[in-house]
Amino acid sequence: MQHTMRWYGPSDPVPLSHIRQAGCSGVVTALHHVPVGEVWTIDEIEKRRNEIRNAGLDWTVIESLPVSEDIKRRTGHFRAHIENYRASLRNVAACGLKVVTYNFMPILDWMRTDLVYPMPDGSRALRFERLAFIAFDVFLLKRPGAETDYSDDEIAAARQRLDKMSPQQRDKLFHTTLQGLPGSDEHFTPEQILSALELYRDIDARTLKEHLFEFLREVVPTADDAGLRLAIHPDDPPFPLLGLPRIVSTEKDARELLDSAPSSANGLCFCTGSYGVRPDNDLAGMVKRLGDNIHFIHLRATRRDGAGNFYEADHLDGDVDMYDVVSEIVDLEGRRNESIPMRPDHGHQMLDDLEKTTYPGYSGIGRLRGLAEIRGLELGIRRNKAS
């Protein structure tokens, strides 16, 4: 595997020099300053790539080239945004990049209820607590119709959960769930969320999935002609939230989107953390069956329970059998005769990073630990297979 880390650009508190010291050969990043829907120009792409090269690293994987809400809803300026997306694909290919990661999650591309969940060893992890989320949705955000998404028992338990919170804890939950997208210091306001949700009122899972398929049929030929590989990130978490559909959550979802626009350019970002939240996803089997279309890999492990809660576990712990997954990846790379880019995802905040302000899940030391563990596991698997 090609070992990389995500870098959020010049404002990232984790500098490129630290990423290089962690043992990475490159970074995955994006032009976060370019508004969604606008064209990534060659000048801006080259400026970012030269900055990375000057630090002794490479940049071949984009994470992410965002898909606008207009495209997801196929309203407003969606046709212009699709043309701009195609222009951006041609420009990144002209600059020598190889993989473009994106997602099709409406409005929010991730959701957690606690960004500093304390672990037994004193480190901090990201966590999703279902009752806390229901309390936010029903009683704090007060989303119209939210009560219909939950059972009476769940709503009663969420009410009790909320009643036990102090005003400070309620405020923390409220702002955590409205956290801005990774790479941004901005937070969504309740008014923005409710207004955005209203725009999706008539879009169910079937409609959103067809919009994804139409988007792919429009951009995959461009990526194919340019020699690019598209890699869609799965839903995080992989189930409906705030009344919004989630359509890239299972192996069946992945197969349907690959079949909608058959091409080697149409592929997956295989995130073991996102897919792994669902116990019905066979991760190692998915690598084996979908491997020809896996163009980018996120390795992380989550620990779930029967109540719908989960947290980010250590990379070699949790519900993801990382040995089986990495073993299948090693076999896949042998069949394809190529190395697939990978990054460790969502490391714990630990050691000196406990005193720093970093993007949630993207502190340097926790990801360094995850990368070191994965590199050691990979080396052991390769030596064992070669013996």
126, 230: one domain: no
Structure tokens at 85: 């997306």
Does 233 participate in catalysis according to the annotation?
yes
Do 183 and 207 belong to one domain? no
Last residue of a domain, one of 179, 196, 213: 196
Q: Is residue 271 annotated as a catalytic residue, yes or no?
A: yes
Neighbouring-strand partners of residue 187: 179
pLDDT of res. 183: 46
Question: Catalytic: 362?
Answer: yes
Among 243, 240, 315, 242, which Cα is nearest to 278's? Answer: 240
* pLDDT single digits (tens) 211-235: 999 999 999 999 999 999 999 999 9
Of 99, 127, 93, nearest to 342 (Cα)? 99
As a whole number of angstroms, the distance between CA 78 and CA 382 comes to: 46
Per 3-state DSSP, the chain is made up of helix, strand and coil in percentages (nearest 5) of 45, 15, 35
Q: What CATH number corresponds to the domain at position 341? A: 3.20.20.150
> Same structural domain for residues 189 and 129?
yes
Structure tokens at 171: 């405020």
C-alpha angle 337/259/246, rounded to 5°? 105
303 neighbors 319 (Cβ within 8 angstroms): yes
Is the peptide bond prior to 184 cis by the omega test (within 30 degrees of 0)?
no
Please state the φ and ψ torsions of residue 56, each to the nearest 5 degrees.
85, 20
Task: Name the burial class of residue 29, with classes exposed (0-12), middle (13-18) and buried (19+) by CB atoms within 10 angstroms of its CB.
Answer: buried
Last residue of a domain, one of 178, 196, 214: 196
Q: Are residues 232 and 377 in the same domain?
A: yes
pLDDT band at residue 180 using 50, 70 and 90 as cut-offs: low
- If one counts the domains in the chain, the total is 2
| pLDDT, tens digit, 9 for 90 and up, residues 28-61 | 999 999 999 999 999 999 999 999 999 999 999 9
Contact between residue 353 and residue 365 where contact means Cβ atoms under 8 Å apart:
yes
- Let me know whether 14 and 46 are in one domain: yes
Enter the pTM of the model. Answer: 0.96
Of the residues 345, 348, 353, 359, only one is catalytic, namely: 345
Q: Which residues pair with 180 in a beta bridge?
A: none
Q: How far apart are CA 69 and CA 77, in angstroms?
A: 10
Of the candidates 298, 314, 348, 359, the residue annotated as catalytic is 298
Task: Looking at the structure, tell me whether residues 213 and 271 fall in a common domain.
Answer: yes
Under the banding of pLDDT at 50, 70 and 90, the label for residue 4 is very high
Respond yes or no: is residue 295 known to be catalytic.
no
> Are residues 157 and 250 both part of a single domain?
no
Per-residue pLDDT, 185: 52
Of 3, 81, 346, 348, which is the active-site residue?
346
Same domain? For 213 and 314 the reply is: yes
Range of the domain at 217: 2-111+203-386
Which residue among 196, 227, 262 closes a domain? 196
* Cα Rg of the chain (Å, integer): 20
Same domain for 271 and 254? Answer: yes
Catalytic residue among 3, 211, 233, 348: 233
Q: Are residues 214 and 326 in the same domain?
A: yes
**Under DSSP, is residue 118 helix (H, G, I), strand (E, B) or coil?**
strand
- 212 and 97 housed in the same domain: yes
Query: Do residues 275 and 234 make contact, with C-beta atoms less than 8 angstroms apart?
Result: yes
Would you tell me how many other CB atoms lie within 10 Å of the CB of residue 269?
26
Residues 15 and 98 in one domain: yes
Give the residue from 210, 208, 215, 211 showing the smallest Cα distance to 86.
215
Annotated active-site residue 298? The verdict is: yes
pLDDT tens digits, 253-294 = 999 999 999 999 999 999 999 999 999 999 999 999 999 999
Please tell me the distance from the alpha carbon of residue 372 to that of residue 376, in angstroms, as a whole number.
6
- Give me the catalytic one of 24, 102, 271, 353: 271
